[in-house]
Structure 1
Amino acid sequence: MVVALAGGFVALIIAGGVLLALALIAFAVWAHQYTNVGPNEVLIISGRRGRRKGPGYRIVRGGGTYVRPFREKVQRLSLELMQFDVRSAETYTMHGVPVQVDGVCMVKISSSDEGIARASEQFLSRGREDIVRTAMQAVEGHMRAAIGALSIEDIYRERQRLVAAVRTLAGPDLERMGLETVSLTIRNVADKQGYLEALGRPRTAQVKRDAIRGEAEAEREAKAARYAADLAIEDSRRAYETERARYKAEGLRASAEADLSYELQRAITRQQVRAEELKVEIVERQKAIELMQAEVERRKRELEAEVIEPALARAREITAVADAHREEAAAMGAGEADALRLKGLAEAEAMAAKARSWGDYNEAAITDRVLEVLPALASAVSAPLAQTDKIVMIGGNGSSPGASRITKDVTQIVAELPEVLEALTGLNLEELAKRVPGVKGSGDAVDGDAEEVR
């Protein structure tokens, strides 16, 4: 059951696809067979006559139509304008004068159904050149016939009669061919015998005579007009020069007056400007004076503020300081006098006591005092060496080491102190030391070659 349903569904799909393909093919064939036609042409569709009686073809103008495949045939027929030149060789007029006529003709296929039917019967399979050639031969033949029925004067003077005759003669033939004349014009009419030239000579001579006469009359009138114009010009020039001189004199007078007025007004204006400038200068000088006065007043006040007032203050300060110094000096003088008096009394008492003491002193005491001073002198001599961080000895001649040289110099300085003391006081330290009780012998000399520096 299921297999049968599936087979039916597949068959339905296939049938639908086939129908769709047939529809697409039919649409493609219809689209291919649908033919459009423009406004400048007609379609001649020929084919099956069918049960209806008729020519067996149909004419379609504008739009489009469906052409049955395999049964109908489509052919196009142009409705556009066709132009050609119409030239007749030497053709004799009614008076036997040979002339040549050159013109332009424009024809087209008639837009009526009858004209299209006739043209399709005769020109459907032929090209545009064949249609033009056929129409040109017909028009040229009828033009020669029309020329033979007219005189050369009529052809030359009344070209429209020739055009009307040609249209009248050629119209039926062109109509039977499905054509119609749109335009026919004559461009040139000529003859090799000089007939047209001779025909125009009297008129040409008359025209030349009239032209010469008219030219002479015109020249005379022109000269008269020129003379009158020259007189008018001279009158106008004289009037112009007179008016110009008058206007120039008035202009010069006005210019002189204007110049004088200008100079006068300029002088007045200069005076006014100078007066205003003086006023401005006066005002400026007044302002300058006021500014100077203000500057003087400012400088005065500045001087008072910066110099006088500080000077007065300084004077007052100096006076006050002087008074204070004077009082201080007086007080210090009184104090110093008292102090000097007391000091003098004390020094006098001390001197008296000292005199009494020195009177009681003997040489031993003096020697003891001198010996107490000697270590202090030795310390004073060796003090600079004690504060030295590094000593560099240069020289020595290789006799002794540098350290021994330093100790030798120090001990030598100390050894020379008794001599210095003797030179200053007149006392011999060695003699004084011998007199000191408890001192034995004369004492040993100080060794000047010590090697240690303390």
Structure 2
Amino acid sequence: MPMIVGVVAGVAVVAFLALIGVFKAMWRVAEPNEALIISGSKHRTEGVEEGLGFRIVTGRGTLVLPGVQAVRKLSLDLNETELHVDCVTQQGIPLKVRGVVIFKVGDDYVSVANAARRFLDQQKLMAERVHNVFAGHLRSIVGGLTVEDMIRDREKLTGQTRAACGTEMEKLGLIVDSLQIHEIEDPTGYIQNLAAPHAAAVQRDARIAQAEANRLATEAEQASYARMAEATRDSEILQAGYQAERDKALAKSQQAGPLAAAASRQEVVVQETRVAELEAHRREQQLQADVRKPADAKAYEKRTLAEAERDARISAAQAKAKETELAAAAEASRVKQAAGAEAESTRTRGTAMADATRATGEAEAAAAQARGLAEAEAARAKGLAEAETIKARAAALAENQEAVVAQQLAENWPEIVKAGASAFGNVDNMVLLNGADGMADMFAKALTMGGTGLGLARQLLASMNQNGAGGTGQSGTSQLNGATAPPAQQVPVKLDEK
């Protein structure tokens, strides 16, 4: 019996230990910084829709059926990812934004469920996914800002980035604990150039402050030197004063005897001078009583009479001036009225004369303009006619010059012959040989040698071309008449036929 009891007790202990081992194998406890994701059965989780196929346990223990359910852990620790984003601002300036994002899986069941679906087996890739989300939104936000906005209000950039990424992070089941923009790198030097004026101003102020400090120090040193020199001067002056007092006392002691004698003599002179002054004063009083007072009385009488006479003359002059002023004012008023009337009349006459002159001038200008237009039209017609005539003559001369010359010679032949005969006008007797042939030869030579032949014809043509008179016989005739000699005389000719 005791053996049976021992066996039963041993079996019970073994069963209890086995039960404890099985319970321990089935019991899972979630750490404070993790969530247990239990899959393998349909569960209803608060805040999460039905039919997820997994159960979420945080901060407590739960039983898990080995082989039926699978347990995996999702870390709730903080994670961080560094941002290295190349951006371009609204001004087209490339920048490199450096920052850090600290995030974690949300504590609510919805966030844990969303994170479990996306990162349960890829928790190491969580930082990369978050970096990509923030990088895209950061580029978009920086593209709408200027460099000055980013520098002066970095909190605005941070807030806009967090607000833009909030919805996507919520879908991922993540929350952002912190977003910090550490640095904005400027490879083009734009920010440095922006800071250059301020740096120069600070450097300038520093140099000014240093110069001011140096000036104040120099002034203090100079003032100190001046006070030292002043103290030295005062000391020397005091020493010189003391020496002078000693010298004075010594000289005074040496001159005590002579000074006493001089003082006594001076007292005697003072007393004598006093007596003389009293005597002079007495005599002056006597003179005042005897001479000056009567003279002053007479002078006062004459001055009073003269002032009365002067006042009377002044009053009379003032009355006369007032009367003259009133008369002048009246005369001026009359003259002003007359001048106004005359000026108005003159202005009216001037206006009428100006209107008449203007009308006359306009009429004369119109007439002159009409005459000028008529004269210009006539001159233009005349010039066109002359030009046409010259053009026709030039064309004819160019086509048949010899014919034109022959025509002109034929038209002016009588004048040519008359000019040739003038060569014999002063001949009394002439002897001809060879009869009629000699006469013909001599006449032909006279025409050619005398210059009245072809030369006269050329002269005629040149005159016609210059004057443009249309080639009339009258112009040529007048030219010949101007060059002819006196009328030919009858010459007795003796013919000696042999």
TM beyond 0.5: no
Q: Which has the larger radius of gyration?
A: 1
In the superposition, the TM-score normalised over structure 2's length comes to 0.41
